[in-house]
Structure formats: structure tokens, C-alpha cells
Structure 1
Amino acid sequence: MHLTVRRLTSLLAATVVSAGLISAVPGAPGVADARSCSNSGTGVPIPIINKLFPRGGSPIGPQKQMPAYDHGGTKTIGWVTGPKSRNHTFGRFGISGTDVGVAWDNGRGQTLMAFGDTFGNCLTPDQQWRNNVLLRSNDRNLADGLSLSGRGYAREMFNAIGVDGVEKTAIPTAGISLGGKQYVNYMSVRAWGPPSRWYTNYSAIAVSNNNGHSWYTPPNTIRVNAGITIPVPADWPSFQAGDAKFQQSAYAKGGGAESGWVYQYGTPNGRFGAAYVARFRPGDILNRSRYQYWNGRAWVGNPDAARAIVRGPVTELSVSWSPYLNRYVMLDSPRGVLLRTAAHPQGPWSPARRVAPASLELYAPMMLPDSPALRGTGPELYFNASRWEDYNVLLVRTTIRR
């Protein structure tokens, strides 16, 4: 570990950063080079090349036209982010390139979306790079694309030290609304490693009481990626070997017989590990002593006992209950976008069905809460997906089968 518990605690306790869409500041985008920045310019905070190109390749360049795909029930609908998107995110939010797009309902019918490493104006010394940003949408009809709400330079949700080998960035991996508050699970990335591998310090939960305009991280939600178990006081970050299995996450509210539970799916850092699952009551999201973990036979209180529910490699996940299917749906993207279903949160999960080919170069498929399949009104499932070459997020629709 490069960060002590004391340093982690003091850093995170001070992390209350505005995420509101405020008025543009000096240096915000105007007439400029509106492209996703490669890692060749001065002041680029992260070497994104290994993150984005698992098989090698060139640094990302300007955003291109949306890749057209319509086959087997899956169709690309339109760019969500980037200068070529219908949302014109470079001019409106200072976003020329970003990824992830974790999406959830804020409890009042609005969709919140948390994005990862974000670039703005590539001609500025720092390329207007941010660790993460939050955008909002009131669009309930996704058939013609996803429209974003608001305007103004998108600020970071929460910061990071920004030093390679210490803490390079902080990336959202899951989001959920419970009891009128917003919760985002994120990973603190220590360094980018070989393609499709990175190394985390910890994962943690950031909380917002004001619909995502500001965030704070309770230190007791930190899962240190230490691979060992050390007893610590209840209000300290956790040192448990099993916490390494929950460095990246997906949240799903229980449906059917599991209503009243929230499920947290976890994977280790990178795109190589298996998937695990924990559950908790909505009011206990910040009290990890009340979490239960699936050990292959029963729900138990020890994260070290968690057993894989899907064998690796499992990449960035999203999981939701589908009233249309009366089953849980899981998306990830190790070789194209894969879809699995299960009658219960812990499985057994069906064999993966490829719903988008590897040739589209999509990753981090994040389901949209207003999908008919998740509302119980139809078979259409919409998801955000990031694209390697363009380093931006597009909307994809697939049809799920009963």
C-alpha cells in the first residue's frame, strides 16, 4: 500500500467537491480542438493508452461518426457524449472525451450518470482533465437517443491526489438512490498496469444529499485492496482480504422474492477477475458490518468467504432486475458485450449471449433505468457503452428474450 489509513481517511474526509453544472469559467471550451486527448500532450494527468487499448494500438484521436450497427436485435442509437453527439457535450459541459456512464434513477424520475476520466479542451495545458463528472437526463424516451439536461462546465464529483503510484484517479463504477440520497461506489486507482489491468488502493462509497451537487466519503466505507485481514475499529477503513473482490461494483435493487434487499456485485481491479455478490438492506448501505456475502451455499457476514458467481474474466458490470423477464440481467464486455440472466441475484447465471460484437470495441455497458425491459413495459434494453477508439459514450439498444 502506498497510502496509509490516516492519509486515506484525511484525504477522503476532505473530499466534498461540487459536481453541479455551473456557469462556464475562464478557459472553458470555445473555438478549440474538440477531440479526445491522447497521452502525448503536456500536463496529461493519466496514461490512458493501456486502459483503452487492451491489444495495443494508437492513442485515441478525434471522435468519429457513430459506428452504425443493426443486427440480431442490437442497434447503436447515437452518441451520448462528445462533440459529435446530439448533446454537444464539448460546448455545453466542457467534455470532449469521457467513458463509463454509470446510470441510475435518482428516486424522482431523473437519470443521473457518473463518468470516469474526462477531457475537455485539448489545447489547454491540462487539457481540462477531470477524474470524474456527473451529468443528468430527464429523457424518458430513449428510442431516438439520450438527451442530457442543463448546461455549464462539468466539475469533478470527487478528487484524487493525481500522482502515479500513489493515487492517479478516482473512477465511479456503480450508482444507486436510496432514501432520497445518492450513492456512488468508486475505485481509487493507484496506477495503470499492462493492458486491461490496473491497481487500486481501495474502493469506497461517496454520498450526496443534494442530487449530486456535492459528495463526501464516509471513511468506514473504504475497502482497502490489501489482500490481508487486519482487525480495525469500526469507523476505520476495512482491511479484509475479501475486500479485494469488491474493488469495482454494480448495484441492483432486488426484485421478486428478493424485494427489500440491495445487491452489490464486485470484481477485483482490472478486467480479469471473477464476479462476487453481497447484499444489504437499503438503510444499511453505509454499515458494512450488516452486509452479507454469498459463499456458494448461504449468505454469511464475512467478505473473505465470498465465492465467485461468474467465472472470470469479468469486466465492468451492470446488473438490474427486469420485471419484463422476471429475472436479473447482467452485462459486461470481455469480448464484445455479453448478456446473462438469472432467477436469483447469486445465480446460477445463464451462459453468456453476445449482444454486440468485439469489432465495435465497446466496454463498460451500463444499463439505463428507463429501459422498457427494466420498467416491465417491453423487451428493449438500453445501455451506455464506451468506445475504445473515440473515447466517448454511445447509446445502444438490444432486445432481450423471454
Structure 2
Amino acid sequence: MRAEFVAWVTGQQSRNRTGDRAGVYGTDLGICWADGVGGVLVAYGDTFGRGWSGEGGAAGPRASHEEADWRSNVIARSDGGILAAGMRLDSWLTDRPGHARQVIPRDDRAGVREFTVIPTAGISVGRRNFLAYMSVRDWDTPGRWRTNYAGIAYSDDVGETWHKPEAAQWSNLPDGSQGWQMCAFARDGGFVYIFGTPNGRGGPVRLARVPENAVLDLNAHEQWTGAGWTRDQSRAAVVIPAPASELSVMFHWASGQWLAAHYNEHLDAIVVHTAPRVTGPWSPPHVVATAAAWPALYGAFFHPASAMAGTPYFLMSQWGPYNTMLMRLHLGT
């Protein structure tokens, strides 16, 4: 199993020339999902404009955040195209022509110290779109950021506007061990499955599910124990061992298996696990892209259109260029 580079998706070096078209010169992650009306939405994290220094993201551009045109998150739309030729971004959610706007607002409540708010997963049920996000308190040391809470936002107008109900938020624990601070979504059999990891890059993966009509009701979420389902979150079993972060999960119809991709900091690589069922058992990690080839790589988010294709594709990030690229995943040896 291995991944190969197809094309840059964001940045001025990409076919999308996102700096010129959306004021997106540097951006984080690349979480894509089917929007329920025939297109694909792509959510990005911390995003910088023309004043960006070109040396990573949250570590701090040489310019101030204001001079660098910092937005905590932005969203693009893709209407299709042949992935083998690269991923096309057709439009952006904007606040003025040629400028992508922040879509998930920061938390301005008194007493909440929030540096940024980052999307971590997206999914649609009918025409309603859901976006998981984390409220980052501070970035701390590399790979050990701290969150206030995580939550699920929703949109009923195909991503134009988003709402962040407080009832759909997981408060973090004092030791940072709450297990759903970063999420991955999947749908199967009338349920939305929510894979979760703690804040940072050192934790394991756990699994919950909720009926499709109750995604925002955390009391309706059930956790997988390894043998069955419970509403006692403390009994949630580890389905993929640590370290895992920036996770994406997809059922790949052509191969008849579940795929889970994430960054593994011990291996300093993007890895993929396979499973016959959403609950597992999940295979050991298969290394598909390494930091030796792609220095400071992170994030691997499956493109939903490739679920039905013979070859899966995912978006991968690289810290120095601070942009995203499309990768083709070869499942064979």
C-alpha cells in the first residue's frame, strides 16, 4: 500500500491559484465531504492571505495576524471533475469578491480563552451538513495543543451559514483526555459514526454512533465498548491505538473494506488501517507517505467521490509550504 502525489490543491502553485481567487495563500488541512446536493465541500483550518510569510501556519508568520489576513477557517466548493487530473475548487464562501471568509465564528463568550477554531470533519445527512470543530485554547508544544472543547456545527443552506449549538459540545477534561476533541465522520445503516481522538497527536481512536436524525443530541450518542454499545462514555474502547490524529474514515466499495487514514507521529508518516466493519477489527498501520519524502506532512482526508472508484484519493497537508495536495492511494502491495 502506498500513496503518490497527484497535484497541489491549494496555493499559488496549484491549478486553483487560490491566492488570486480566494486570498488563500497558505492554509491548513483539507476536510472534504459530499454536501448532499451533488457537490463537495472542503473545509480548511487556519488560513492566511497575501501578507503570509510562507513558513508554516500557526507557528506564526513574520507579519502580524492582521497583516497576514488570518482566518481561523474557510470553505471551498468543488462541483466535480476527474481526480486523476487533480482536484478542482470551483468556488469559495466569500465576504467580498476574491476573498474567502471565515465561516465558523470564534467563541466570544466571557471567560473562554480561545486562540482559534478549527474544523476536523464534515458530513451531510439529507440537505443538512454537519461540521465537527475544536476550540483551540493554545498550541503549546508541537503536536500537544490544548482545547477548551469540541463541538458539532450545522448548516441548512449547503454551508453558507453555520450554527454552533452549545448543547452539541464536548467539554475537555482538565488532563486533556476527553476522547472526541478531534473527529472523523462516517455513515452506515442509518447511523452517523463518530471516531474521536483527544486534543493533540498522542491519543488513541475511539468510536461512537448516533441515529442520523439525532446527530446534535449528545445524549443519544452511544460508544463502542468492543462488544456492544453503551451511553457511558467512560467505557468506550480503543479501536485504533495511539498515536493518531487528523483522522479520516471511508468505506471503499471497490475493495469492500473500511479505510482509516491519519498521521502517526511515532512513524512520522501518514498511515492507513483497514477493517471489514466500521467497528473493526482494524489492521496495524500501513505506511503510505513518509516525512522523508514529504517533510512535516500531516492530515489525510479522503475525497468522498473516490469511495466508489477503484482508487481512493485523499488530501494531505505539508507544514512548510502550508498547503494541501491530492494523493492517490494504491491499495495493493
Flag structure 1 segments of 5+ consecutive residues without an equivalent: 1-71, 229-240
**SS of corresponding position for 2:234:** helix
The separation in 1 between residues aligned to 2:249 and 2:199, in whole angstroms, is 18
The separation in 2 between residues aligned to 1:369 and 1:116, in whole angstroms, is 19
Report Cα offsets for 1:118-151 as digits up to 9, x if no partner.
0002178511100000001012310010111126
1:320 aligns with 2:250: yes
1:349 aligns with 2:295: no
1:144 aligns with 2:71: no
Identity %: 37
Deviation of residue 108 (structure 1)? 1.9
The separation in 1 between residues aligned to 2:190 and 2:174, in whole angstroms, is 31
Q: Which residue, 230, 233, 239 being the options, matches 1:309?
A: 239
Return the TM-score normalized by structure 2: 0.89
User: Contact (CA 8 Å) 2:2, 2:287: kept in 1 or not?
Assistant: no
What is the match of residue 252 of structure 1? 186
| Superposition misfits of 4+ residues, deviation over 2 angstroms | 161-165
Deviation of residue 353 (structure 1)? 0.8
Letter of the aligned partner of 2:219 in structure 1? S
Deviation of residue 227 (structure 1)? 4.9
Distance 1:331 1:310, change over 3 A: same
Structure holding more helix per residue: 1
What is the match of residue 336 of structure 1? 269
Equivalences for 1:343-382 in 2 at 5 Å? Answer: 343-359=276-292, 360-361=294-295, 362-371=297-306, 374-375=307-308, 377-378=309-310, 380-382=311-313
What is the match of residue 200 of structure 2? 270
Report Cα offsets for 1:307-327 as digits up to 9, x if no partner.
211110111100011111221
What is the match of residue 60 of structure 2? none
Pair member with larger Rg: 1
Structure holding more strand per residue: 2
User: Contact (CA 8 Å) 2:2, 2:289: kept in 1 or not?
Assistant: no
The separation in 2 between residues aligned to 1:200 and 1:264, in whole angstroms, is 18
Equivalences for 1:22-171 in 2 at 5 Å? Answer: 73-122=2-51, 126=66, 127-150=68-91, 152-161=98-107, 166-171=113-118
Deviation of residue 343 (structure 1)? 1.1
The separation in 1 between residues aligned to 2:315 and 2:111, in whole angstroms, is 29
Letter of the aligned partner of 2:91 in structure 1? G
Return the TM-score normalized by structure 1: 0.74
**SS of corresponding position for 1:347:** coil
User: Contact (CA 8 Å) 1:73, 1:398: kept in 2 or not?
Assistant: yes
What is the match of residue 48 of structure 1? none
The separation in 2 between residues aligned to 1:246 and 1:344, in whole angstroms, is 21
The separation in 2 between residues aligned to 1:269 and 1:290, in whole angstroms, is 23
The separation in 2 between residues aligned to 1:291 and 1:140, in whole angstroms, is 36
RMSD: 2.1
What is the match of residue 15 of structure 1? none
The separation in 2 between residues aligned to 1:321 and 1:136, in whole angstroms, is 22
